[in-house]
Structure 1
Amino acid sequence: MAIKNQLSGRPLEIVLTATNSAAQAWYGYDQGVISGILISKFFINTFPQTKNSDIQGITASCFSLGNLAGCLLAALFGDRLGRKNTLRAGAFFSTVGAILQFSSFHFPQFIVGRVINGLGNAPHVECIKRSLAEDQEGESFGSLWDAHTSIIPLNGDYPSLSRQLVPCMVMCCLLPLLPDSPRWLVMRDRRDEAHEALRRYLGKDLPLDEPAVINELLSIEEAYNIEKRSRISLKEVILCRDRSGHLKRLLLGCGGQFMQQFGGINALNYYFPIILTENIGLSEFMARVLTGCNATSYMISSGLCFWMIERFGRRSLMLSGLVLQCWAYVMVAISVALLLHAPSQWGAVAITFLFFYYAAFGCTWGMVPWVYQAEINSLSMRTTGTAAATATNWLFGFVCTQFTPTGIRNIGYRFYIIFAAFNLLFVPVVYFLYPETSNRTLEDIDEYFDIDSGHPTIIAIGDKVTKSTARPQEAIDAEIRRVTVADKKVAAQKGSAVHVEHVDDRDE
C-alpha cells in the first residue's frame, strides 16, 4: 500500500502540521518580504517612483487586492475543486507572481507580479484556515520567515523574492500524503472516502467500525443533511428568512476580520522599518535589525496563542487583545509626540511598545479571527462565509496599507491615536455580540444559532452558555440526539433490506 494511504494518527498529524507550517511560512514570507524591500537602496534605485508615499502605498497594498480577487475565485470554485486542489491552483499562481517579481526591471511588471502573487496566496489562506488543517500549530512559522527576510541585508532584492517558492514547494510535496477534508467529502457524497479520512485523522490504525469514527461520521452527516433540508438562497439569507442565523454568523466572521485590520496590524506589518526610520529616526541598518527582532518576538507570541486559544477561549483573547493593543498605540503616540524633547528616551519607549503591540496581537488577534470565521459559519455557508470574511480582511487590509505611508509622514503621532481609538471602540462590540466558540463542534454552533435555541442576538451579561469556554451541556445533549436519530435511520435501512436466497436448479 502506498505511504500516502498508510499515514494515520500521530504520523498523519505531524504531516498535517508540517503542511500547515509550510503554508503559513509561504503566507508570512509573501506578506513580510515587502517591509524590508521598501527601504532597500537597491529597490529604491531600481524603482525611484516608490519614494512617493502614495506609490509606496500601492506597492505594498496591491498584494491585498490580489488576495481579494483570489478569495472571490476560491468562493466560486473551491467546493468544486476540493481543498487540496484549490491549494495546488493557488501555488501555481503564486509561483507565476514570484517569477514576475524577481525578474522585473520595470515597475508595472513588479506590480502585476505582486497582484498575481496575492491571487495565488488567498486560496491557500482560506483552505488552510477552514478545513484542510483546522489546527493552528503552523501559524508562528511564517513569522520566522519574516525575521529571516528582515535581518538579512538585501543587496539585491530579487533572491529574497524567490525564496517564497521554498515553502510553496514543500506544501505541494506534502499534500499527496493527506486525505481530504471529511466534511468536504460528505458534502460531495463520497461517504466511503469520508469514513476512511476520519479513521485516519482520529487515531493510529483505527478500524473502520471504531465507535468514535462511526459516531463522528454520523454526526457530520446528520448535521449536513439538516443543512441541506433547510438550505436557502443567498437572497433569503440576506433577508433573514432562515432558521439558522446565517446572516448573523456571516457578519460575525466578517466583523472579526474587519476588527483585525483596523486594530492596526498592517499599518505595522508592511511599514515597520519605515516607522523606525521616519518617525523614530533610526538608521536603515538598525531598522532592519529591530524588524527582525520584532518578527522573532511575534513568532514566539504566535506560538503561545496555540497553547492559549483553547484554554482561555476566543472571547477572552479578543477582549484582552483589544485592551492591550489600545494601550500600546496610546503609548506609541505619546512617545512619538514627545520625541523631540528627548529622542533617545522616548524613542526607546516607542520601540518597546511597538514590540509590545506585536506580542499582544500575535497571541490574540493574529489567530483568533481566522479560527472564529471557520467555526461560526454552517456547513452550507462555509465557503460563502469564509470567502466573505477573508475578502473583508484583504479589502480593509488594502485600505489600511494604502493610507499608512501618507499618515506616517503627514500627521505624525496622531496617526497612532486613530488605531488606539478603533481598538477601544471594538471592546463593547466583541463583548455584546460575539459568542464563545471554543470547545464546540461545528454542529454545536448550528444548534446555538437555531431560531428556537433561545439565545438572543445581543449577548446578555448573564448568559453563561454564550460565554463559557467549556462545552455546554445543551450542546452535548444535542449531539446525543443527532447520533440517536442517525442510528435509528441506519437501523431502519437495515431492517427494510430484503434477503433473497439463490437456489441452484441443478441441485434439484
Structure 2
Amino acid sequence: MGKGYSPAIAANPYIVGSFACIGGGLFGLDIASMSAVLNNPAYNEYFGYPGPNRQGGIVASMPAGSFAGALAVTWLADRFGRKQTIILSGWLWVIGCIFQCAAQNVAMLLVGRVIAGLSIGTSTAIVPIYQSEITPPNIRGRIVSLQQWSTTWGILLQYFIEFGCSYINGNASFRIPWGIQMIPAIVLSVGMLFFPESPRWLMDRGREQEALQILADLHGGGDSKHPLVQLEYTEIKEQITFERTQGAKSYLDLIKPGIVRRVGLGMSLQMWSQLSGINVMMYYIVYVFEGAGLTGRRANLIADSVQYVLNVAMTIPAIIYIDRWGRRPLLLAGTALMGFWLFLVGGLQGRLGHWGYINQDKIWLVVGNDHATKAIIVCSYLFVCSFAVTMGPVSWTYPAELFPMRVRAKAVSVATATNWLFNFALAWFVPPALSNIAYKTYFIFGTFNFAACIHIFFCFPETAGRTLEEVEAIFAQGNAFTAWRISRDVGKQDLSQVQPTHDLDKHEIHDAGSLEEKAV
C-alpha cells in the first residue's frame, strides 16, 4: 500500500496541522490587497474612482464567492477527502489572482475576486475540519487557532508588500502585489501532496488500515500498537459505527434533534464574529483613520501597519493558552471588550467630529484635535487586540469541535458559509454606512458585541480538552440556555470502559489517556 505522504512529516502533528493553515493565510492576503489600495491614486484612477457603493461591491465580491465555496465543501470534503479539497482551494486561488492581476476593468476584477472567494470559502471551511481530525485533543485548539494566526500573517505580509509597491509609479503599484499573492497558494497545493489524509475520513470510507497507519505515524512514532494510537483508533471506529446506524448522511441530519442546536451555535458564532465589527477595522481601516483626523497617505499606511502587527502579535497568546483558558471565557471577555472599545470610538467621533470632505468625498471628520485623533487610533488598536486574542481564533476552533462525523463536513461548511454571508453583507454595507450615518456605525457594531456576550453566556458550553467523540456527552446535559451551568468535567470519558483492540488491555489504554492529557 502506497502511503501517498511523507511519514517523516506525519510524525509531527504540529507540522501537519500548521501547514494547512496557509489556506487561512489566503484570506488575510485578500483583506490587505483591498485595504491597502483604497487610497492608491493609480488604483482609483484606473478603476474610475469607485464611490462607496461600488467600492463596497468590489470588496464584497470576494465573500460572495466564499459563500459558494464554503457550501461546496459539504460535497467536496465527503466525496474527495479533506486533503484533495485543500489542494483544489489552492489552485482556485491562483486562477483568481491571475484574473485580478490582469484586470482591464471592474467587471474582470470582480470575476477574479469571486474565483478567489471560492478558494477562500473552501479553504476556511475544510482546513479546520482537517486540523481537528488529524491532531490529538490536547493540542487541537492550539492547532486550529493557527488558522486565524495565518490570516493575520497574510494581512501583515501583503500589506507591507502593498506598502512597498505604493512607491512604484503607475498600475504596477497594485498589479504586482496582486500577482505575488498567488505564490503561497502554489506552495499549499504542492506541499499538501506530502501530507496524510484525515484518518477519520479514511475510516468512514472503510480504509481502516490506512487510517491506523496514519494515526501511528502521527501519534505513535510509526507504531500501530502504541497505546494512544489504539485509543484513538478505537474511539473513531466505535463512533463511526454508531453514527452509521443513525441514518444516511444528508442535509436532513442537520435539523435532527441533538444536531440542530449545534448547527445553530456554529452558525451564530460565525455570524457574531462578523458582526463584531472586525470588517470595519480590517478592510476599511484607511477610512477609519481618515475620519479620526489622520492626514497624509504615508502616515495612514504606517498607522494601519501598526494595527496589523498588533493583530499578529496578540493572536499568539490565544494559540498558546486557548486549550487552558477554554473557549467560553475568551468569547465572553472578547465580546465585552470589543463592544466597549467601539462605543468609545463612536462616542469620541460623535462628540468631536463634523461632516467634511476628503478628495471630494463626504466624510465625518475629527479635525484639529490631536488628542482625540490619538485616542480613536488607540481604541481601534485595542479593539483589534481584543479580537485577535479571543473571537478571532475561537470562532474557527469552536465550530470544528461541535459535530459528529456523519454531519461534520456539512455542518462546518454551513457555519463557515454563514461567516461569508455576513462578511459579504457587511463589506458592502460599511462604506455607505460611514458615508451616511458616520460614527453611529460604531454604536451598531458595539451593540452587536454586547448581544453576542449575552448569547454566549447562556447558550455556548465549553468544549476545550475533549475528544470529538466526548463532545456528544456535553449536549446531553441541560437545555439550550443552561450552558453556564455545565462543568468543564462533563463529557470526560471513563477510559477504563474503552474496549481494547489489537490485543491491547484496558490498563494500557488508560495509560494512553493519561499520556494524552499530559502531552501539552
TM over 0.5: yes
Q: CA 1:460 to 1:4, structure 2 compared with 1: closer, same or farther past 3 Å?
A: closer
Distance in structure 2 (CA, Å) of the matches to 1:416 and 1:399: 16
Distance in structure 2 (CA, Å) of the matches to 1:447 and 1:186: 22
* TM-fit CA distance, 1:38: 2.0
Query: Which residue of 1 is the match for residue 86 of structure 2?
Result: 87
Residue number among 152, 157, 160 corresponding to 1:148 in the alignment = 157
Distance in structure 2 (CA, Å) of the matches to 1:47 and 1:381: 44
Q: CA 1:236 to 1:480, structure 2 compared with 1: closer, same or farther past 3 Å?
A: farther
Worse overlay, 333-342 or 39-48: 333-342
Distance in structure 2 (CA, Å) of the matches to 1:145 and 1:235: 34
Listed as ranges, the matches of 1:165-176 within 5 Å are 165-176=182-193
Query: Which residue of 2 is the match for residue 336 of structure 1?
Result: 349
Q: CA 1:40 to 1:331, structure 2 compared with 1: closer, same or farther past 3 Å?
A: same
1:447 is the counterpart of 2:473: yes
Distance in structure 2 (CA, Å) of the matches to 1:35 and 1:67: 18
Query: Which residue of 2 is the match for residue 28 of structure 1?
Result: 28
Quick check: 2:199–2:214 contact (8 Å CA) kept in 1? yes
Worse overlay, 427-436 or 329-338: 329-338
Distance in structure 1 (CA, Å) of the matches to 2:101 and 2:194: 31
1:346 is the counterpart of 2:372: yes
Give, as a single letter, the amino acid of the residue that structure 2 aligns with 1:123: T
Query: Which residue of 2 is the match for residue 186 of structure 1?
Result: 203
Query: Which residue of 2 is the match for residue 498 of structure 1?
Result: none
Query: Which residue of 1 is the match for residue 482 of structure 2?
Result: 459
Distance in structure 1 (CA, Å) of the matches to 2:7 and 2:70: 33
Query: Which residue of 2 is the match for residue 199 of structure 1?
Result: 216
Query: Which residue of 1 is the match for residue 247 of structure 2?
Result: 231
Deviations 1:229-278, CA, capped at 9 Å, x for gaps: 113565754664x4xx1100111100100010101111221111122124
Give, as a single letter, the amino acid of the residue that structure 2 aligns with 1:150: Y
Query: Which residue of 2 is the match for residue 397 of structure 1?
Result: 423
* TM-fit CA distance, 1:398: 0.7
Identity of aligned residues (%): 23
Worse overlay, 393-402 or 17-26: 17-26
| Number of matched pairs | 473
Give, as a single letter, the amino acid of the residue that structure 2 aligns with 1:384: K
Q: CA 1:55 to 1:446, structure 2 compared with 1: closer, same or farther past 3 Å?
A: same
Query: Which residue of 2 is the match for residue 262 of structure 1?
Result: 275
Give, as a single letter, the amino acid of the residue that structure 1 aligns with 2:190: C
Query: Which residue of 2 is the match for residue 130 of structure 1?
Result: 129
Query: Which residue of 2 is the match for residue 66 of structure 1?
Result: 65
* TM-fit CA distance, 1:442: 0.6
1:364 is the counterpart of 2:390: yes
SS of 2:146 mapped into structure 1? coil
Quick check: 2:93–2:116 contact (8 Å CA) kept in 1? yes
Worse overlay, 169-178 or 191-200: 169-178
* TM-fit CA distance, 1:21: 4.1
Query: Which residue of 2 is the match for residue 428 of structure 1?
Result: 454
Query: Which residue of 1 is the match for residue 363 of structure 2?
Result: none
Unmatched runs of 5 consecutive residues or more in structure 2: 135-139, 354-365, 506-520
* TM-fit CA distance, 1:86: 0.6
Quick check: 1:149–1:292 contact (8 Å CA) kept in 2? no
Quick check: 1:71–1:123 contact (8 Å CA) kept in 2? yes
Quick check: 1:3–1:177 contact (8 Å CA) kept in 2? yes
Listed as ranges, the matches of 1:286-365 within 5 Å are 286-337=299-350, 338-339=352-353, 340=366, 343-365=369-391
Worse overlay, 33-42 or 1-10: 1-10
SS of 1:157 mapped into structure 2? helix
1:272 is the counterpart of 2:285: yes
Quick check: 1:325–1:423 contact (8 Å CA) kept in 2? yes
Residue number among 400, 404, 408 corresponding to 1:382 in the alignment = 408
Query: Which residue of 1 is the match for residue 516 of structure 2?
Result: none
Worse overlay, 224-233 or 333-342: 333-342
Query: Which structure has the larger Rg?
Result: 1
Distance in structure 1 (CA, Å) of the matches to 2:20 and 2:386: 23
Query: Which residue of 2 is the match for residue 222 of structure 1?
Result: 238
SS of 1:140 mapped into structure 2? helix
Unmatched runs of 5 consecutive residues or more in structure 1: 492-508
SS of 2:335 mapped into structure 1? helix
Give, as a single letter, the amino acid of the residue that structure 1 aligns with 2:420: W
* TM-fit CA distance, 1:310: 0.8
Give, as a single letter, the amino acid of the residue that structure 2 aligns with 1:409: S
* TM-fit CA distance, 1:188: 1.1
1:115 is the counterpart of 2:138: no
Superposed CA RMSD in Å reads: 2.3
Deviations 1:356-395, CA, capped at 9 Å, x for gaps: 0100000101110111111011111101111110000000
Distance in structure 1 (CA, Å) of the matches to 2:471 and 2:458: 17
Give, as a single letter, the amino acid of the residue that structure 2 aligns with 1:79: D
Deviations 1:308-349, CA, capped at 9 Å, x for gaps: 211110000000000110111011112212244752111100
Quick check: 1:64–1:395 contact (8 Å CA) kept in 2? yes
Give, as a single letter, the amino acid of the residue that structure 1 aligns with 2:244: K
Quick check: 1:7–1:177 contact (8 Å CA) kept in 2? no
TM-score of the superposed pair, with normalisation by structure 2: 0.86
Give, as a single letter, the amino acid of the residue that structure 2 aligns with 1:53: P
Residue number among 409, 419, 423 corresponding to 2:445 in the alignment = 419
Give, as a single letter, the amino acid of the residue that structure 2 aligns with 1:139: Q
Q: CA 1:13 to 1:286, structure 2 compared with 1: closer, same or farther past 3 Å?
A: same
Q: CA 1:106 to 1:341, structure 2 compared with 1: closer, same or farther past 3 Å?
A: closer
